[in-house]
Structure 1
Amino acid sequence: MPRHPIHRFWRSPALPFVESRIANDSVACYAPHSHDSLSIGAVDGGRSVFRHGGVCRPLSQGDMVLIPAGEVHACNPESDGQWSYQMLYLNPNWVRDVVGEMDAIDTAVLNRLPASTAPQHLHTRLTDLNRSLFGSAPAQDKEAELVLFVGDLFGSVQARRSRPLPGAARLRGVQAMIQARCAESLTLDEMAAQACMSRYHFVRSFKRAVGLTPHAWQLDQRIQRARHLLNQGMGLAEAALHLGFADQSHFQRAFKQRVAATPGDYVRNFLQD
C-alpha cells in the first residue's frame, strides 16, 4: 500500500537567500517551469526523468542536478510512480558573492553553468546541509554550513587540500576577539573580515583548526563564561541576559548540551571547599 507523501519546506527571515524542500514518496508532477534561483536537486529514492533543453535523462537514488536560474526544466517520477527528493534554492547573487570572494575562482562559471548532473558524493553533503537547515541550529551555524557547501561545490577544493591552512595567527586573533566579545551577536562577515579571509576560507579554516564552526565555538565560550558567572553567584536569568541569549530556555538548552546538567542543577550541586 503506497505511503502518504510528505512535503516539508524550510525558509528563514535570517537567511533570505536560501530556501529548501524535502519530499518523501511524492507522486506530484510538474509542468515545464523555471526558477529565479540557482536550484540544486537530489534524488533520495525511486526513479525520475529530468527534462531540459529537449533532452530527457533518467535519474535514480543518489543522482543530483544543478539548474541555473531561468532555465526551463521538469523532473517527474517515472511511470506514475513515487519518488523522494531534496531541492535547495539559492539566490544567484549570494552564490556569486561567496564564490567571488574565493581565490582563483572564475565567477563566470555561474553564468555558463549548464543544467547537469553532479557527483554523487555531493548527495551526502546536501543531505547533511538540509539536516542542519531543518534542525534547531542557530541561523549563524546554518549560514556557515551553506557557505561551506557552496564553496566546495564551485571551488577547486582538491587544489587547496594540499596547501597548509592559511592565516593561523589571524585565526588566533579571531578566537581572541570571540572570547572577548562572546556575548555579542558577531556576524560571519565581521569575523571573516577580522581574519582577512573570504567567508568560505574563514569557515573552512576555522572548523579544521578548532573543530567547530565559528558561531558554535562562540556558543561554547558563552557557556564557559556562564559557569564562571554562576559560580560567582549571578542568577540564571541575569546570566542568560548578560551573555546575549535570546531567552532563558535557549540558555538552559545550550548549557545542558555542554555540561550535561541544567544551569539550576549545576548551581545546586556545585560543591566548594
Structure 2
Amino acid sequence: MKNTNQIVHNIKFSKPQLNKDIIIYEGHFNNFNYDKHVHEEYTISLIEKGHMNAFLKGFNHKFDKSSIITINPDEVHACAIGNNNEYKHRSLYLKPETINEILKYNFSKKQLCFRDFSFNNEYIYNRLSFLINHDNIPYFNTLTWECELIDIVNSILQINTKATNLIELPSNYLLIQKVKEYLHDNFYMQISLDDISKEFGISKYHFIRLFKKHTFISVHAYLMIIRVEKAKQFLQKGLSLIDTAYMCGFNDQSHLNKRFKAITGLTPGEYKRFFN
C-alpha cells in the first residue's frame, strides 16, 4: 500500500556536454516550494507530472503538462506544488553566450528575449522532453544531441521571441539595470542602501519602492539571489564550500546553506556532487 505521507524530494543536474554551459535539471516534489529567484541563463521548462504553481511577471500562474515555460535571464520567478499534490518538471538552462553561439546564423547577434512566459506546442514539447530526459542522454552521441538541441531552440525562438518587435522600456528601467549591474559587480561586498544611494544619487527610501516595483523583490533578496547564482558557478568548478561562502559574501557556511537550499532545493554540498 502506498504511503501518501512519504515526502518526495528528488533533484538531478547534469551537463550533457562538459565543454558547454548547458545544464539539464529535473525536480520531483510534494513538499517543497522554491523561493523567488533568478537565473543568469535562459530557462526552458516542461511539467512532466502534476500541476505546478508559478510566480512570473508579477503574477501567480498554474501550469500542467500542456505548457512549455520560457524564462528570460534575470527574470524573477518562483515555483511551488499545485493542488496540494506532487509535481515533476524538467528544465534546460542555456547561457546567453550559448544562445548567441549556436544561433548566430539564424538570428541577429543581438540578445533575444522570450515574448511570453509559456506557450503550447505538443510537437516541440515531446521532442524537448525526450532530449532532456536523463535516461535518454546516453543514447545520443555529442553531435546528434547538439544538432537536435539547436533545432528545437530555433523553433522555440521563432515562435516565442521579441526578435522583430520594438521593446518599449518602462520608466526608470535604465536606472534599475545599472543598479543590478552594480550588484553583480560587487556581490562579494557588504553593500548598504547608503552605498547605492550615493553611487546613483537617489534617495534610498525612493529606491526601495522603485526596485521592488520593477523586480517584485527587495534589493537585499536580489543580492542574495546573485550570491547563490555565483556560488553555483564556483561549486561547478570544484571550489570548497568554505571558500565559496567567503567568495560570495555570505557571513558563513551556514548562511550559504540556508539561502542555497531555499533557491535550489539542495544543500551546496549536494549540488556540488553533480558536477565533481
Q: Which has the larger radius of gyration?
A: 1
Q: Does 1 or 2 have the higher relative contact order (CA < 8 Å, sep 6+)? A: 2
Write 1 or 2 for the structure with the bigger share of helix. 1
